[in-house]
Amino acid sequence: MKKALRFFEQTKPVTFKYYKPEKKVLGRTMEQQLRFAACYWHSFVWQGLDPFGGDTFQRPWHAVGGDPMKQAEMKADVAFEMFRLLGIPFFSFHDRDIAPEGATLRESNRNVRKIGEIFEKKMRANKVGLLWGTANLFSNRRFMSGAATNPDPEVFAYAAAQVKNVLELTHELGGKNYVLWGGREGYETLLNTDVGRELDQLGRFLSLVVEHKHKIGFKGMILIEPKPAEPTKHQYDYDVATVYGFLKRYGLEKEVKVNIEQNHALLAGHSFEHEICMAHALGIFGSIDMNRGDDQLGWDTDQFPNNLPQMALAMYHILRAGGFKNGGGLNFDAKVRRQSIDPDDLLAAHADAMDLCARALLIAEKMIDDGELAKQLDARYAGWKGKLGREILGGKVSLAQLAKHVEKNNIEPQPRSGRQEKLEALVNRYI
């Protein structure tokens, strides 16, 4: 524990300007509305590598030649020290983030469980909860051609075994959700890929996970995290709409929700708000990975969020639909830049992001309290509350009847202004 204390220069919990955990916002405390989580991988596992460069961080627990389990413990010490300093209520992890891979899966699982026991104590001691757990089914070379969608069924079985372990650990640690990100469930070239078959494999896998969840009594959500590509050329869970179709295809649309990430939305050609709204419209909104991509770059930069108006709109759409439910939350799937090598850069990045999210929440609260945006939206569709609108949506009129109606009444609808600029200015008034 002392080692952890010495990692960060800062020793006292950070203070915030906007984030007041106990402050009420739209009927819940800020802590309840935001449900912040820090992720294990970016902050404690990543060494600062990029495709053209090596370790810049040189964290003590990455020292070459060290005892992997000891290093895992040191890492856990530092991680919980950061959670304590931030006063962050949740965290999230992959199995491979927290414990080293062993010679066999049995040993790997044992390592994971061992750290899980340490977590259990630290979580209780620090009042930190687990937002979600997940299995890393993409880093090891055995998964290079996919996990559930691998051409080798033994890889499917291996992945299943790994998920079982993490799902159960997540359950035991009181985890709120379990996430599946299909990093290798996709293809590099259609020349060696049977898309239909692989989708069936993926559907089967997900069904097995859902069955097991019920069997062990896990009440949290099963979440799929959409991403269009990277590392694969194409990832099957491309975006929210694609995941929805997939869930419908395999009859899982009531069992599984989505965990939406800003940067993944961007890579799929969407805004963050788009994915949030689409998930709500389709009834599969679950949780979010708050970060940001770079508008000019074509890969997952996973930066800490910093564009206040965009964040406020994301929060607005979440709050409009009732906020996080069923255990969803806001996970910082973000990493400090590889040049931010000071330990306290980690701390500051999280603290500033939390504060900015709180600020965005307060702006979203104003938008909702004021009600003008919602009022204008309702007014725009008011026509659909009339007789014709209700008949159409109620399935009371046929194409032929509608045609007759138009011709008979010589209907010539007149367009009305969409008022986009005024609405955008209205949003800026809340900032």
Q: List the catalytic residues.
A: 94, 97
DSSP line for 379-413: HHTGGGGSHHHHHHHTT---HHHHHHHHHHHT--P
The single-letter DSSP state of residue 41 is I
Nearest CB to a copy of itself, comparing residues 27 and 153: 153
Q: Is 274 annotated as a binding residue?
A: no
Nearest CB to a copy of itself, comparing residues 127 and 404: 404
Tell the smallest beta-carbon distance from residue 125 to a copy of itself (Å).
28
Of 23, 4, 9, 6, which is closest to residue 355 (Cα–Cα)?
A: 23
The single-letter DSSP state of residue 383 is G
Nearest CB to a copy of itself, comparing residues 121 and 249: 249
Tell the smallest beta-carbon distance from residue 414 to a copy of itself (Å).
8
Of 248, 250, 236, 313, which is closest to residue 282 (Cα–Cα)?
A: 248
What is the rounded CA–CA span in Å between residue 69 and residue 67? 6
Q: Is 152 annotated as a binding residue?
A: no
Tell the smallest beta-carbon distance from residue 38 to a copy of itself (Å).
14
H or E segment to which residue 289 belongs: strand 285-290
What is the rounded CA–CA span in Å between residue 289 and residue 225? 9
Distant-in-sequence, close-in-space partners of 13: CB < 8 Å, separation ≥ 6? 84, 85, 86, 87
Q: Taking the CA atoms of 130, 333, 183 and 50 in sequence, report the sign of the dihedral they define.
A: negative
Tell the smallest beta-carbon distance from residue 420 to a copy of itself (Å).
5
Q: Is 188 annotated as a binding residue?
A: no
Q: Is 345 annotated as a binding residue?
A: no
Q: How many CB atoms lie within 10 A of CB 199?
A: 17
Inter-residue contact 252 to 223 (CB < 8 Å)? no
Nearest CB to a copy of itself, comparing residues 11 and 104: 104
H or E segment to which residue 110 belongs: helix 105-126
Tell the smallest beta-carbon distance from residue 268 to a copy of itself (Å).
7
Nearest CB to a copy of itself, comparing residues 18 and 21: 18
Q: Is 225 annotated as a binding residue?
A: yes
Nearest CB to a copy of itself, comparing residues 69 and 427: 427
What Rg do the C-alpha atoms of the chain give, in angstroms?
A: 24
Q: What's the start-to-end Cα distance of the chain, in Å?
A: 42
The token pair at 247 is 């869930």
Tell the smallest beta-carbon distance from residue 193 to a copy of itself (Å).
8
What is the rounded CA–CA span in Å between residue 101 and residue 68? 9
Tell the smallest beta-carbon distance from residue 103 to a copy of itself (Å).
9
Helix (H, G, I), strand (E, B) or coil at 224: strand
DSSP line for 118-175: HHHHHHHHHT-EEEEEE---SSSGGGTT-STT-SSHHHHHHHHHHHHHHHHHHHHTT-
Nearest CB to a copy of itself, comparing residues 29 and 342: 342
Binding-site residues for Mg(2+), in ranges, read 225, 261, 264, 289, 300, 302, 333
Binding-site residues, in ranges, read 225, 261, 264, 289, 300, 302, 333
